[in-house]
Structure 1
């Protein structure tokens, strides 16, 4: 029974965070509705690890085919964008446009809801993609393909836990939207998500890149989460799904940067 629930919750998390064709269980009354974050919080980092593993496999295949490092990591990042339907990238762009272009809280929220992308959003997207590709390329050259793929899995798991923690730390900034529909996870569920994300990151990174890189990555992720929490509180008085997506992007970059700086390479 417990195993069945874990499979159900992980499937729900993957349906919410990706566009993978996850089979629907007969027990799911409305499988495509916004899931209860209170229930699936612990499974969110697991879903992130699965998504990251897809990018990692593409990176390994590219390396095995003797593609240049830049091409291999660019294909891996492309795979991540396609698998998630650019969910987090969309949140980053909307957040950058709203925080950068709005003069008041209501105006920022209005801009964030607009589907059109502005200058701030375009620049944020470009820089996010550029930084992820550059960091993964540097890791691939210095640490090898397997270690880089494991770092990508860890970053994907931990950064999605960070995005969920932001939803717990701040109240919803509006009464409708994806984050309001999903609800806040609650302290216990958010704590389980954070612990699961940290555990998955440690399992992936400690044996391959060392304890120092793992601790640095965890610290950088917490730092990114802290900055995004403070910024979102100041700008819109709470959180939205867009800010959670932006937090995932920011913390993934922070984690990869810290791991690159402190990686044990022999």
Structure 2
């Protein structure tokens, strides 16, 4: 049990910029198990931040812009940076080796810049036009988006032998760990039924949207490389979040 808790705190340290006391024991073993729960945690913190902005009196659009900025800051830009690097690779006319070389280049190219700008704009507009409560939109998109990374880790090869994200796949045992990492779905369903009063149709629709988009992005993003890297793991999270928010903004 102690190792289990240490793994969760390791996931908090790795996937966010949330400070933890120095006396807390951390482990980076199997931290990918906690990806969806990190999404729930970050969504909760951002929801509190949005509430504070409301209390201060910021107008809606300004609040959303500040919220998306805080979103990037609280993750340390980890996934966002990966999305930009992956965007540069998508613009390359070449084989897998050439694309991987471009992704390793610290300089940002045109395709990476365009990808980053489009992602930010997509999140701002979608959050502004959400058809559900803001906090719930954050929780759905951020938990399912990170589940998409867990799915990418499980389903596709890691194409860099010495990549920084290689240990994420190496540590996990599928399918058991994939099942354990998906238990957050029960938490989401409980919220929908007992706190939001959603119908069975709404529950099924919302979660199918989250799962389908996340799986689709994990598949699409790996196609040019024949597998995933740490950068494409981040891109899977970012694009899944953005597209889930787009669908959640559709008026019923």
Distance 1:257 1:179, change over 3 A: same
Distance 1:250 1:45, change over 3 A: same
Task: Tell me, yes or no, if structure 1 residue 12 matches structure 2 residue 10.
Answer: yes
Tell me, in whole angstroms, the C-alpha distance in 2 between the residues paired with 1:120 and 1:238: 20
Alignment of 1:102-251 (within 5 A): 102-139=93-130, 143=132, 147-184=133-170, 185-187=172-174, 188-196=176-184, 198-206=185-193, 207-208=195-196, 210-211=198-199, 212-251=201-240
Tell me, in whole angstroms, the C-alpha distance in 2 between the residues paired with 1:221 and 1:158: 5
TM-score where L is the length of structure 1:
0.84
Distance 1:27 1:12, change over 3 A: closer
How big is each residue's C-alpha offset from its partner over 1:66-113, in whole Å with a ceiling of 9 and x where there is no partner?
311111111111111111111111011111111222411100011111
SS at match of 1:70: helix
Tell me, in whole angstroms, the C-alpha distance in 2 between the residues paired with 1:108 and 1:78: 29
Shift of 1:205: 4.5
Q: Which residues of structure 2 form unaligned runs of 5+?
A: none
Tell me which moved more, 247-256 or 4-13: 4-13
Tell me, in whole angstroms, the C-alpha distance in 2 between the residues paired with 1:192 and 1:247: 20
Q: Alignment RMSD, CA only?
A: 2.2
Alignment of 1:32-111 (within 5 A): 35-37=28-30, 40-111=31-102
Number of residues paired by the alignment? 248
Distance 1:67 1:235, change over 3 A: same
Task: Tell me, yes or no, if structure 1 residue 257 matches structure 2 residue 250.
Answer: no
Tell me, in whole angstroms, the C-alpha distance in 1 between the residues paired with 2:203 and 2:123: 18
Tell me, in whole angstroms, the C-alpha distance in 1 between the residues paired with 2:205 and 2:246: 9
How big is each residue's C-alpha offset from its partner over 1:227-255, in whole Å with a ceiling of 9 and x where there is no partner?
33333443111111111111111111222
Tell me, in whole angstroms, the C-alpha distance in 2 between the residues paired with 1:229 and 1:236: 12
SS at match of 1:54: helix
SS at match of 2:107: coil
Tell me, in whole angstroms, the C-alpha distance in 2 between the residues paired with 1:161 and 1:24: 28
How big is each residue's C-alpha offset from its partner over 1:145-194, in whole Å with a ceiling of 9 and x where there is no partner?
xx211221232122111112101110111101122133342321122223
How big is each residue's C-alpha offset from its partner over 1:209-236, in whole Å with a ceiling of 9 and x where there is no partner?
8344543332233333333333344311
Shift of 1:258: 2.3
SS at match of 1:228: helix
Higher helix share: 1
The runs of at least 4 consecutive aligned structure 1 residues that moved more than 6 Å come to none
